[in-house]
Structure formats: C-alpha cells, structure tokens
Amino acid sequence: MILLSGCDAYGDMNSATYPVSSAMAPSSDSRMAVGVKLALAKQEEGESGFYLIHEGLSAFVARAALIEEAQVSLDLMYYIYSDDTSGRILTALLLQAADRGVRVRLLVDDLGTRVTNPWVAALENHPKIEIRVFNPVEGRSGLRRGVEQAMNFGRINHRMHNKLLVSDGLVAVTGGRNVADGYFSKSETEFLDVDVVAIGAVVEEASSIFDDYWNSGVAVPVSELLIADDDTFSLAALRDRVEKYLAGERETEFSKALQKSELAEKLAAGEITFHWGKATIFADPPRKAIDRENVPVSEYPGYKLEKILRQSRQRLRITNAYLIPGVPGVDLFSTLQDASIQVDILTNSLATNDVAVVHGAYSRYRKPLLQSGVRLWELRPIANQKQRKHWFKGDSHATLHAKTFVLDDDRAFVGSINLDSRSIIQNTEIGMLIENAEINRQLNVLFETWIAPDAAWKLELGDGGDITWHAENAQGEPIVETREPETSWWHRFLARLLSHLPIESQI
C-alpha cells in the first residue's frame, strides 16, 4: 500500500498546471540571424529552405553548431537523450549557451530518457535552463516504478517519440535521430537515419508545436520528479565538471569534426545551399498521450500522411525502420500498385532489426506485399561501412532507423513516424512534408544507395511462393538465400514464435 500510495500523482494530467512559456522572438542581430536573412532575402514570402543530412557525424555537428550559435533561445524535444559522449557534449554546450544568456528548454520522454542523474538537478537550477519530462512515471527507480507502470499502463503506454531542435527561432532540425552515440555513428550499432535542417516560414510552425507540448499538462517539470539525494551539486561544480569533460574530449571524433566544421560560418555568411519550397509540419496533439479517445483521428499525422500517399501519381519509395503495415497498409499499397504507382520499401532484416517482436509481426505481411507488386528490400548488417570508416575506427552493425517517403519527383517526407500501430495510434510523432524536387532527388539517391546489393537484400517470390533473398558478396557475385539471411536458428525461431503473439496494436 505504501508503494502504491503515490501511483496516481500524475494520473489526471488534464488538470495539471505548470508555468507557461512561449517561443521567444527570433534573434535579429546575431551572425546566424544575418546569415538566415541573407538566405531568405531572395525568396518569396511563406517559403522555407531545406538542407538534408543523412551522415551521422554531420547530424551531430549540425546540432552542436546551432547550439553554439544561439543567442536568444534553444528549444529541444527528444524521445531519447542519452548520457553518453554525444549527449554530454551537447549538454555541456547547452550549459555554455545558458551562461551567455540563452534560454534553454529541454523536453524529454520519461521512458526513453531516465532523468535520474543527480547532475540534472544542478543543470535545472540554472536560471536560464528548464527541463520537463513528458508523461512521467512517478517512481524514479526500482519496484515502485515497475508498480506504477503496471497500475497506469493505459497512460504510460503513450510515449513522445518526437525529435525537434529550434535555435533562436530561426533554424529547426527534425527527423528520426535521437541524441545518442549510435545515431551519430560512434557506436557498435550504427543507426542509419535522416534529418532535415529548415529555415523560413516552417520554423515558426515548429516553435508553435514545441510550445503546445511544453505547456501541456503532460510535460512535468523535472524538479517535481527528482528524488532527493544526499549528494548535492552546485552550478559552479557543474561548470567545472563540464570544462574538464570537454577538455578530455578534444581528441574525439565528435570534437574534431565540430572544430573542422564550416557549417556555422557558412550559415552566418548565407552560403549554405538551401533548397526552397513549401513545407508543412505534422505533429500529434500532446493530449493524445492521456486522452486519445477524444482526439479525432483526423489530427493524427499518420492519417494525414496516408491521404498524401494516396495522392501519389508515379512512385512511392519508403524507408522505414519498423514496418507493420497491417491489412489497411497492404490494401493501401495494393491500391497504389493497381493504379500503376510503383511502391518500393526498404526496412530492417531480422539481422538488423533491434526488436525481434517487430520483425515477427512484419514477417506476416511480406508475401502479401510482394504478391501485390510492391518491391521490398531488407537492410544488411554491413551497410554503410565505407562512410563510417571515414571517421570512426572499426566495423559496426548497421540498423535502419530512418523514416522517409519519396513521393513522385517533387515531394518528400522526413520524420519520426514508423509504419506500425505504436507510431500511428499510441505514440506522439512529428514529421515534415517538403515540396521540393531537389530534396526528393537526394532522398531517392540515398534510397538507391541503401538498397544496393552490397547494402540490402532484395526479396522475391520463388516459383513455389516461398520468399528468397538476393544480394551480392564483396566480389560482386550474386548471393541467394532461402531463409532469413545472416541469422542464427535461435533468432529465426524466436521471430517466428513472436509472430503469433496477438499484440500487433502495441508494437
């Protein structure tokens, strides 16, 4: 009874009230502001500029540079914000930004990011830094946390899967990447992903979405969640720790790449090649996490995305980490194929999928998709090795994390939305629809790179209706497999067993 006594502390978040804050007016005289003005000067009102990033280290540098350049405000929302090399460097840069007067608001998801580090309390005590946790589990650790998860599963099951950074109200970054080493290439497992850097009209829309999440009752100040600790840390001690940490990281690939990067200088000089057009950001309303029954399905990004996909005229190329299309998804892609619209999909293989139960559910739909005419590829663990070795020593195990859509030859979608029930129904998500032929072309080139025979298996149906996997070895010779490639019998058995579980709506 003692353990359960606090379990409902955040049960009624509809009525929760916390201090309200809003996006600040964009910087007007910083060097980043001058550069953005130069870039916008020749464009029509209402247009946005886009810069695509798919290489992991470049994605880290972009975030770090935008934090370093900020003079007014920084707003960040992430499902995962890890306490590893990349996370610590970015956190150190956030502290330095706050020390020079920049207002920092950081929103993280409670299940994706465990806020138990005692240094967080010191960071949150900074007058310019606020940290909030989305849809928190009140018990911070151990049995109590597990008990609340069980007692409040209906609420806890809805997570904030969004990824967004807005710097000075001038530049926004969104896509599939969380803040963790694997998303920036420095890990034994490398997540292949895509981000888009945007300026112009769409940034105001991104700031408005952040405000909606930040000021919702679902976002709880971290000061209300941290358990008292015998150890206390002052801001002075934190600054000393950060300075020593950054000094020790000066020889890492992350720091070297940031030092060599010209992104900040090019942005300030208006020299980044942005591609221009209209853009729309789709995001779930934050109340979906606690009041889904009263949120119209028409407000779901997945619903809006489906309507856009149905407008395709020639082709649809999908890169998606977790693909569980269900019967509606198979019907959608079959309808497009019947209308002579070629549907191509790249997803994870069993060897690269980090969630076996997801692969088990996905595997049920492979034959129906292939029978409808959809062309299907699955990523190989050795994908992207040459690009990685440019910076990081040693091999990695690649896994697909990107969520992109190439629509015909003039539109593209980049975001956090997986094609599964968890993304569409349970979680909150975000994504950007971009109307630009060059961004479309770049994503198409990336798709071709990732489905090359040395990077992905192409699935085909044999004469007997069984699936075969086709690729090439290092010498360019064809390889054909008749069972899940590059896996052990145990992995195949486990995926097959899990495919029978009636839990598709939860994964």
| Tokens 């300026």, located at residue | 199
**Active-site position among 288, 344, 401, 420:** 401
**Active-site position among 110, 288, 403, 420:** 403
89: left (phi over 0), alpha (psi -120 to 50) or beta: alpha
pLDDT value at residue 7: 41
- Who contacts 258 (Cβ-Cβ below 8 Å, separation ≥6)? 60, 61, 64, 65
| Other C-beta atoms lying within 10 Å of the C-beta of residue 108 | 25
Angle at which helix 31-40 crosses helix 56-69, to 10 degrees, equals 110
**Active-site position among 158, 161, 288, 359:** 161
Q: In what order do the strands lie in the sheet with 403-407?
A: 279-283, 430-435, 411-415, 403-407, 315-320, 342-348, 375-379, 456-461, 467-472, 478-481
CA distances from 437 to 20, 237, 409, 421 (A): 40, 50, 6, 30
Instruction: Look at the chain and count its residues.
Output: 507
Please compute, for residue 120, the number of CA atoms within 13 A of its CA located in the half-sphere on the CB side: 26
Q: Is 403 designated active site?
A: yes
- Who contacts 198 (Cβ-Cβ below 8 Å, separation ≥6)? 48, 49, 50, 51, 171, 172, 173, 174, 206, 279, 432
Q: Is 168 designated active site?
A: yes
**Active-site position among 54, 158, 163, 359:** 163
Q: Is 42 designated active site?
A: no
What dihedral do alpha carbons 325, 327, 329, 333 form, nearest 10°?
Answer: 120
**Active-site position among 168, 181, 193, 284:** 168
Q: Is 193 designated active site?
A: no
Pairing of strands 129-134, 103-109: parallel
- Who contacts 177 (Cβ-Cβ below 8 Å, separation ≥6)? 59, 163, 183, 184, 191, 193, 195, 401
**Active-site position among 408, 410, 454, 458:** 408
Q: Is 359 designated active site?
A: no
pTM, 2 dp: 0.89
pLDDT value at residue 228: 52
Residue 495 φ then ψ, to 5°: -65, -40
Q: What is the mean pLDDT of each run of 10 residues along the chain (507 residues)?
A: 40 69 93 92 92 92 94 96 88 94 96 72 88 79 48 63 97 96 81 96 98 95 70 77 80 74 78 93 93 90 94 97 94 97 97 85 95 97 59 63 97 96 92 98 98 96 92 93 88 74 62
Residue 395 φ then ψ, to 5°: -80, 165
Q: Is 288 designated active site?
A: no
